[in-house]
Every structure is written in C-alpha cells, then in structure tokens.
Structure 1
Amino acid sequence: MTPEVLFVCVHNAGRSQMAAALLDHHAGGRVIVRSAGSAPADTINPAVRQVMAEIGIDLSREQPKLLTTDAVQASDVVITMGCGDACPVFPGKRYLDWQVPDPAGKSADEVRPIRDEIDARVRALLARLVPEPTV
C-alpha cells in the first residue's frame, strides 16, 4: 500500500507547497503527496518558487488549494505547518505539527534556510514511511 501524506498550512503558498514538492521529488512515486490550505492564497510565494527552482523543483504550475475533508480522510499522515485549529481531525490519522517559520514576506535569502529545514524533515519522514530495502 502506498502511503498518502497531506501537508497543510494556512495559505498553501509556501511551507506546505515546499514540503509537498520535496517529498514528491525524493519519494519518486513511492508516496502520494498532497498539500492544501485552510485559507488559500491566490498564488505561490515568488521567493518560494525561486528557492525551489534553484534546487531543480519547478513550482510554476502549482496553485494553492483549499483544504477539504476528503483530502484529510484520504491521507495516512497529515502534517500541519502553522494552521492551528483549522485542520479537521479524524480518528485513526497520524498527525504531525511541524513548527517551521512562515516564508511570507521574506526574501529568497531568508527562505533558503526554511526550505532546507523542510527538506531535512521531509527526508526523515520518507525514511520512516518507506524504508530503503536492505541489501
């Protein structure tokens, strides 16, 4: 069974978009990844697009999406990133809350360390969700 992960933040324009793109990139199809926001912005943060492009991940076609109950119900792991109580909670789901700075209003230089922190968390999560086969 392929694990399903949902990243949630308020605007789905920064942290959750970076986390979803990084997990999708590193998982190579081994995890189904979604992101959403409780109050989605109109567009993804330009500094977020820039720092992701610097590492070869293109967010130009991505748009912030509204958090739905269906997305939460379909997920095995729900990772909140500063959405507070806006995320619906369902029994039997695994919830993690990642306290990561919000990139809103920050320059690319300020967003890079946030991207790198999210990347480290995503890699650790992936190792737990889909352990590498031992040879």
Structure 2
Amino acid sequence: MTDDRPSILFVCVHNAGRSQMAAGFARELGGDRVQVLSAGSEPAEHVNPVAVEAMAEVGIDIAGASPRVLAVDDVRASDAVITMGCGDACPVFPGKRYEDWDLTDPAGLPLEQVRPIRDEIRARVQTLLTGLVG
C-alpha cells in the first residue's frame, strides 16, 4: 500500500534549528495529512537547545529530534523541498516543488532573537501546508 499524502523535506546546513522548527510546525499543523522529513547537508550532533526552548514555548516538543544527513532518496521521495541556506548541497529533481527560505540561522542566538525566527517559520509552514493540503 502506498502513502498518497504529500511529503515535505526541510533542509538546512546543520539540521539543528530552522529545519527542525519547520518540521515540528509541519507535524503539528499538518497532522496526518502530510509526511515530514528534515535533514542537513552537514548535520550537527544535537538540535539547538534554544530552538527546542523556543518551540516548547508554543507547545511543540522537538527535544527528541536528531540531526541527520541529507539523503538523495529523501529529496526523491518528497513533493516539496524547502531549503534554508544549504546552497548547492541539495540535489534537484524535475517535478518537485522547491523553495528557499531566507531565514536567519538561530545558532548562537539568545531566545529573544530566536522567537521571531520561530514565528516566521510558523507562518511560512502554514502557507506551505495550505498550498499542499488545503
């Protein structure tokens, strides 16, 4: 049996902040209507603790997430590929929806500066989901 839900892949360099927050929002807001993946071109060892804290403030737990390396099969299997500063590291396949979100990297920033990034990610994910699943 094949899964006909649209799939979204969120990619940033370290897969520790922006892409993890986006994946958290997509899972929360999209529920079982979408499949969600996230990866990084050069994954960090752990998710950024300030990103975890910022997401916890809005009731989304990403503490158990683990950065993972971007696999070509993830791109191939995804309907929408959202990159956030990974440059040319993301392979391109015809027929996929690609967006590059120009977002500040939250690495090393205090919580007060990560909150607006988190809120912008939420808004972009909501727009993306509306376009994919209505």
Q: TM-score range with shorter-chain normalisation?
A: over 0.9
Number of the residue aligned with 2:121: 118
- Provide the residue aligned with 1:66 in structure 2: 69
Return the TM-score normalized by structure 1: 0.95
Find the residue that maps to 1:29 and give its secondary structure. Answer: helix
Distance (whole Å) between structure 2 residues aligned to residue 79 and residue 59 of structure 1: 18
1:5 maps to 8
SS of structure 2 residue aligned to 1:28 = helix
**Distance between the aligned counterparts of 2:30 and 2:52, measured in 1?**
20
The C-alpha deviation readout for 1:48-85, integer Å capped at 9, x for no partner, is: 00000111111111110100001000000100000000
Aligned to 1:22: 25
| Equivalent residue for 2:100, pick from 97, 100, 104 | 97
TM-score, normalised to structure 2, is 0.96
Q: Which 5+ residue runs of structure 2 have no aligned equivalent?
A: none
Moved beyond 3 Å, runs of 4+: none
Displacement, 1:34?
Answer: 0.4
Query: SS at 2:127's partner residue?
Result: helix
Spell out, residue by residue over 1:1-58, the C-alpha distance to the aligned partner (whole angstroms, 9 max, x if none): 3100000000000000000110110011100000000000000111000000111111
Is residue 2:86 matched to residue 1:83?
yes
| Amino acid aligned to 1:130 | V
Q: In 1, Cα distance between the equivalents of 2:124 and 2:95?
A: 22
- Shift of residue 93 of structure 1? 1.1
- In the alignment, structure 1 segments of 5+ residues that lack a partner are none
Percentage identity across paired residues of the two chains:
61
Deviation at residue 108 of structure 1 after TM alignment: 0.7
Q: How many residues align?
A: 131
What amino acid sits opposite 1:111 in the alignment? V
SS in 2 for 1:119: helix
2:112 partner letter: D
- Aligned match of 2:57: 54
Shift of 1:92: 1.4
